[in-house]
Amino acid sequence: MRSAYLLVLPGVHLLDLAGPLQVLSTVSELGIGQLSVHCVGPHPGVEAFQGVALDRIEALPARVNGRDLVVVIGSKLQPSLMASQPWRDAAAWLRRMFTGSKAPATTIAAVCTGAFLLGDAGLLDGRLCTTHHAFIRKLRARQPRASVIENRVFVSDGNIWTSAGVASGIDMALRLVAEIFGDEAAIRVARENVVPFRRFSNDPRLDPQYQSRSHGNQLIHAVQDAISRNLEASVSDPRFARAFAISVRHLSRVFLEETGLTPKQYQLALRMARARKLLTASNLSVEEISLKSGFSSVQAFRSCWNKIEPMPPSRYRASNSAEKT
């Protein structure tokens, strides 16, 4: 079973903890996958910055494998905390577990000021990262070997993830669920917890699976789910709309009102996203990719591709493959 360890220190911010804890716990609750969630730390009990006492904190695990997830939860960043024994013990544990040639490829994340603990453990050297906007300059000064980015909800660099302040931990946790269990799983978890997918204007483009999902119309969510499950479906066919007890015209109107796109535009966005992933993550031919992405023919794929992308598929594959090496 995969485990998620949420590292908690004194002065923890409740929402920094509660957001990711709720998101990650929902995975097992909905039967999406087996994910055992643990709150761990140097001490069995801590007091949150908001004054709430938290007990039954488990000991820091002696072993973590590459399939697991570690999330360092943000605390009220004070000099006394950063000079405390719990801070030093937590940093030493992170350093011992996740640095060196034999360290597991565990995904390690930090919410808000948790990035400072990752930095003190040496995990941000040469990495892109972020933190709460009020502490960007301080993190840059304390971790000069890290590239600290502002105006981001979260940043991922290899197996290291960091998020901005407080509620952004929810966004990062949802994205981690998508990375581990798939896009559909993250969408289900978000809808279960009534959480829209959010972004800052300067963030990289979100995957189309997450775009246009901030509305609350359950019918349109169901239509989006159906489109993502079957990219070959003819969304203009009356039989497709009839499955939702609605006419094609009414479906198109409501879909456009809720998402800003027509069903066909949304489907094409998903098809293109699938094609981009297959181009960079597989050795399939363009013909095979076009069919696996829901296009009726390679000609239809190329026609759509040429309207959106500035380079042909072969150059796109070569360019993106070069960036990864």
pLDDT digits (tens, 9 = 90+) for 255-295: 999 999 999 999 999 999 999 989 998 999 999 999 999 99
**Measuring CA to CA, how many Å separate 166 from each of 14, 55, 134, 154, 272?**
9, 21, 12, 11, 33
Asked whether 280 and 323 are in contact (CB, 8 A), the reply is no
> Could you tell me which residues come within 8 angstroms of residue 116 by beta carbon, excluding any fewer than 6 positions away?
77, 82, 131, 135, 139, 142, 143
- β-pairing verdict for 46-47 and 53-54: antiparallel
> According to the model, what pLDDT value does residue 48 have?
97
> According to the model, what pLDDT value does residue 202 have?
39
> Taking the CA of residue 186 as centre, how many other CA atoms within 13 Å lie in the half-sphere pointing to its CB?
23
Cα–Cα distance measured from residue 249 to residue 76, given in angstroms and rounded to the nearest whole number: 53
> Could you tell me which residues come within 8 angstroms of residue 181 by beta carbon, excluding any fewer than 6 positions away?
27, 32, 33
Host H or E run for residue 321: helix 313-324
With a cut of 50, say whether residue 201 has pLDDT above it. no
Cα–Cα distance measured from residue 184 to residue 1, given in angstroms and rounded to the nearest whole number: 20
In one-letter notation, the amino acid at residue 246 is I
> According to the model, what pLDDT value does residue 166 have?
81
> According to the model, what pLDDT value does residue 203 have?
45
Backbone angles phi, psi at 35, to 5 degrees: -140, 110
> 199 pLDDT band (50/70/90 cuts)?
very low
- For 295-320, give the DSSP string: -SSHHHHHHHHHHH-SS-HHHHHHHH
> Could you tell me which residues come within 8 angstroms of residue 87 by beta carbon, excluding any fewer than 6 positions away?
9, 81, 117, 120
With a cut of 90, say whether residue 153 has pLDDT above it. no
> According to the model, what pLDDT value does residue 217 have?
87
Q: 168 is written with which tokens?
A: 């952004």
Q: Output the CA torsion 85→91→96→100 (10° steps).
A: -150
Q: 241 is written with which tokens?
A: 């709309």
Give the residue among 142, 126, 61 at the shortest CA–CA distance from 94: 61
What percent of the chain has a predicted confidence (pLDDT) above 90? 81
> 83-100 pLDDT, tens per residue?
999 999 999 999 999 998
> 184 pLDDT band (50/70/90 cuts)?
confident
> According to the model, what pLDDT value does residue 88 have?
98
Higher pLDDT, 225 or 160: 160
What pTM does this model have? 0.76
In one-letter notation, the amino acid at residue 223 is V
Query: Please, what is the average pLDDT of the chain?
Result: 92
Higher pLDDT, 201 or 307: 307
**Measuring CA to CA, how many Å separate 187 from each of 10, 184, 194, 221, 224?**
32, 5, 10, 9, 10
> 205 pLDDT band (50/70/90 cuts)?
very low
Give the DSSP letter of residue 206. P
CATH node for 2-192: 3.40.50.880
CATH node for 218-325: 1.10.10.60
> 31-66 pLDDT, tens per residue?
999 999 999 999 999 999 999 999 999 999 999 999
> According to the model, what pLDDT value does residue 204 have?
46
With a cut of 90, say whether residue 151 has pLDDT above it. no
With a cut of 50, say whether residue 79 has pLDDT above it. yes
Q: Where are the domains of the chain?
A: 2-192, 218-325
